[in-house]
Amino acid sequence: MCYDIAEQNRRTAFRAGLSYRISPGEKYKAVKIMKQMRFDTMLLHGQGAGDKATGSTAVPIYQTSAYAHESAEKLEQIFKNKAQGFAYSRISNPTVAAFEQKINALEGGIGAVACSSGMSAVALSMLNILSAGDEIVVSSALFGGTIDLFSDLQAFGIKVRFVEHMTVEEVEPCLSEKTRAVFTELIGNPRLDITDIDALAGLVHSRNIPLIVDSTTATPYLIKPFGHGADIVVHSSSKYINGGGNSISGVIVDGGKFSWDFERYKVLAGYKRFGKFAYLASMRNGLWRNMGACLAPMNAYMNTVGLETLSLRMERQCENALSLARCIEESGLARVNYPGLESSPYNGLAKKLLGGRGGAILTLRTGSREKAFGFINALKYAFIATNIGDVRTLVIHPESTIYAHSTPEQQHSAGVYEDTVRISVGIEDIEDLKEDMIQALGSQKEV
Ligand SMILES: *Cc1c(COP(=O)(O)O)cnc(C)c1O
C-alpha cells in the first residue's frame, strides 16, 4: 500500500499495518514501473493487477472470513503487524487489498482503505480525526446522504458549519480555533458546482486544517486532487469507479502531505510514531476496523474489474453529457446546468481543473414538478433510478427522493428545486439519447 521508496517509510507503513501483500523486492520493482506508467496503462498493469502466484490475469476473489496459520506465534506476529499475512477479512483481505492498491496508485496517495459504502468512507474519513467539541466546515451543496450524515454528527458533539459556496471568501469567516476539517465535493452532486480546491487548500493549510475532498463525480480520470492541495480523497466507488452499477462501496485515500499536529488531533496521537502514516494507521487499527465497515471481497473484485475501463467509460460519458447538454440547451425546452457548457458559472474551473471536461451529470429545470415527472416518465431509455456513474443513463427527481429528508432551504442550497431533474449520462449511442430526451421534453410543452 505504500509507494514510497525510502526504506524508512516502507518499514513504518508495514508496522502500521498498511503493507501486507507484496514482498519487499517485488515492491521496489513495482514502484519503479508505476512511476513510469501513464494513467490508462496503470488501469491495467502495476499494483493490484492479476495474481503473481498463479498468473491469473484477473484478481482472485478470496471469499473467506479467516486465514489459518501454522502456529500460534505466527498469528500473534500477524496481529501485531510484525509479519506479513492475513488474519480476518474485516481487518484485511487480499482481493480488497488489490483494489486499495489500484485506487491508491491512480490517485497518487500513500495508502487507501476500502469501505462498505461511500457513506461509510465519508463518515470514517471525518470521524478518524474528530472528537466531541470539534467543528467542521462543509459545503451545503453536498450529496443528500452526506448532508444527513453531517447533521447526525451533531448528536456526538461535533459542530457542523454549512457554507453555501466553498470559496476562500465564504469559508474563511467560518473557520475557528476549533475547526478540524474542511469537506467539499469536487463537482457537487447535484448542484454541479466545482470547488477551486487549489485556492481552498491554500486557505485551510494556512490554519493547519486538512482539506477532505469527495471526488466521486470527478474520478482520478478527470483530476487527481492531491496535485491540487487535497489531503484526503474519498470516493463512493459504487459510482464511476465500479461503473457497472453492481456493487456498493467506498474508499478513502491519504495523500500523505498533511502534517498532523498531535496536540490538535488527539485521536491520532496514539499513532504519532507512524509519522505521515498516522491517519491511515489510526483508520486501519482503530475506528474503521472496529466499526466493521469493511468492503466485501466480491465487491472489491467488481470494482477492480470496473476500474480497468474507467478511462474509456469516462471519455464516452463526458462526451455524451456535453453533446446532450448542448442539444437540450439549443432546443430551449429546459434550462440546462452542466459545467462543460459556456453558460455554466463553473465552466472556467472545468477548464482549469478538469481539462475542459464537465463530468457526466447534468441537471435540467423543466418549469414545474409536473413537467419534471412527465419528462421522466416519457423517457424510453433512461432508467428511473437513484444512482450515478452507471454505464446506463439514469434519471431522478432529486427533490422527492434523495432530498426528501432535507428542508427546502437545504434543497435550494444544494441546487435542488421542485422542477429539477438529474441525468447521469451513460455510454449509449448519443443520437438515441438526444432523440429520446428531446421527444420527452417536447411532449411536456402543454402540461
Ligand atoms: C453516492 C454518493 C455518496 C454515497 O455513496 P454510497 O456508495 O451510496 O454510500 C457520497 N458522495 C457522493 C458524491 C455520491 O454521489
In a domain, residue 405? The reply is: yes
Helix (H, G, I), strand (E, B) or coil at 407: coil
Please indicate, yes or no, whether residues 195 and 244 belong to a single structural domain of this protein: yes
Render pLDDT for 329-374 as a digit per residue (tens, 0 to 9).
Answer: 999 999 999 999 999 999 999 999 999 999 999 999 999 999 999 9
Q: How much is the pLDDT for 27?
A: 54
Protein residue closest via CA to atom 4 of ligand 1: 118
Given 251, 278, 307, the domain boundary residue is 307
Q: Find the 215 Cα to ligand 1 centroid distance in Å.
A: 10
Please indicate, yes or no, whether residues 75 and 59 belong to a single structural domain of this protein: yes
What's the distance, Cα to Cα, between the start and end of the chain in Å? Answer: 56
One-letter amino acid identity for 277? F
- CB atoms closer than 10 angstroms to residue 154: 10
In a domain, residue 447? The reply is: no
pTM beyond cutoff 0.85? yes
Render pLDDT for 317-338 as a digit per residue (tens, 0 to 9).
Answer: 999 999 999 999 999 999 999 9
Please indicate, yes or no, whether residues 12 and 128 belong to a single structural domain of this protein: yes
Among residues of the chain, what percentage have pLDDT more than 70?
94
Q: How much is the pLDDT for 19?
A: 57
Residue at grid coordinates 465535493: 185
| CA dist., res. 222 & res. 367, Å (int) | 32
Using a 6 Å CB cutoff, which residues line ligand 1?
117-119, 122, 143, 145-146, 185, 189, 214, 216-217, 236, 238-239, 248, 250, 388
CB-side neighbour CA atoms (13 Å) of 399: 20
- Given a cut of 50, whether residue 16 has pLDDT beyond it is yes
One-letter amino acid identity for 28? Y
Protein residue closest via CA to atom 7 of ligand 1: 118
Q: Which atom of ligand 1 is nearest to the CA of 189?
A: 13
- CB atoms closer than 10 angstroms to residue 140: 21
Please indicate, yes or no, whether residues 384 and 433 belong to a single structural domain of this protein: yes
| CA dist., res. 335 & res. 378, Å (int) | 18
Q: How much is the pLDDT for 30?
A: 56
Q: Find the 234 Cα to ligand 1 centroid distance in Å.
A: 10
Of 110, 165, 113, 156, which Cα lies nearest the Cα of 137? Answer: 165
Please indicate, yes or no, whether residues 301 and 339 belong to a single structural domain of this protein: no
Domain CATH for 345: 3.90.1150.10
In a domain, residue 1? The reply is: no
Render pLDDT for 232-270 as a digit per residue (tens, 0 to 9).
Answer: 999 999 999 999 999 999 999 999 999 999 999 999 999
Of 377, 357, 368, which Cα lies nearest the Cα of 443? Answer: 377
Please indicate, yes or no, whether residues 106 and 218 belong to a single structural domain of this protein: yes
The rounded Cα 34 to chain-centroid distance in angstroms is: 22
Domain holding 382, by residue range, is 311-442
Of 377, 374, 379, 373, which Cα lies nearest the Cα of 399? Answer: 373
Q: Are 294 and 231 in contact (CB under 8 A)?
A: no
Q: How much is the pLDDT for 34?
A: 63
| CA dist., res. 16 & res. 167, Å (int) | 36
- Given a cut of 50, whether residue 427 has pLDDT beyond it is yes
Q: Find the 143 Cα to ligand 1 centroid distance in Å.
A: 7
Domain CATH for 118: 3.40.640.10
Please indicate, yes or no, whether residues 315 and 289 belong to a single structural domain of this protein: no
Q: Find the 248 Cα to ligand 1 centroid distance in Å.
A: 9
Q: Are 309 and 244 in contact (CB under 8 A)?
A: no
The b/e string for 310-327 (b: 16+ C-beta within 10 A; e otherwise) is: bbebbebbbbbbbbbbbb
pLDDT band at 33 (very low <50, low <70, confident <90, very high): low
Q: Are 214 and 203 in contact (CB under 8 A)?
A: no
Helix (H, G, I), strand (E, B) or coil at 61: coil
Protein residue closest via CA to atom 1 of ligand 1: 236
- Given a cut of 50, whether residue 24 has pLDDT beyond it is no
Please indicate, yes or no, whether residues 137 and 229 belong to a single structural domain of this protein: yes
The structural domain count of the chain equals 2
Please indicate, yes or no, whether residues 330 and 385 belong to a single structural domain of this protein: yes
In a domain, residue 2? The reply is: no
Given 280, 307, 334, the domain boundary residue is 307
Q: Find the 242 Cα to ligand 1 centroid distance in Å.
A: 12
Given 285, 307, 329, the domain boundary residue is 307
Q: Which atom of ligand 1 is nearest to the CA of 146?
A: 10
Protein residue closest via CA to atom 6 of ligand 1: 118
Phi and psi, residue 114, nearest 5°: -85, 145
In a domain, residue 320? The reply is: yes
Q: Find the 236 Cα to ligand 1 centroid distance in Å.
A: 5
The pairing of strands 361-365 and 335-337 is: antiparallel
Render pLDDT for 36-94 as a digit per residue (tens, 0 to 9).
Answer: 789 999 999 877 778 888 999 999 999 999 999 999 999 999 999 899 899 999 999 99
Q: Are 119 and 147 in contact (CB under 8 A)?
A: no
Please indicate, yes or no, whether residues 44 and 157 belong to a single structural domain of this protein: yes
Helix (H, G, I), strand (E, B) or coil at 70: coil
Q: How much is the pLDDT for 51?
A: 86
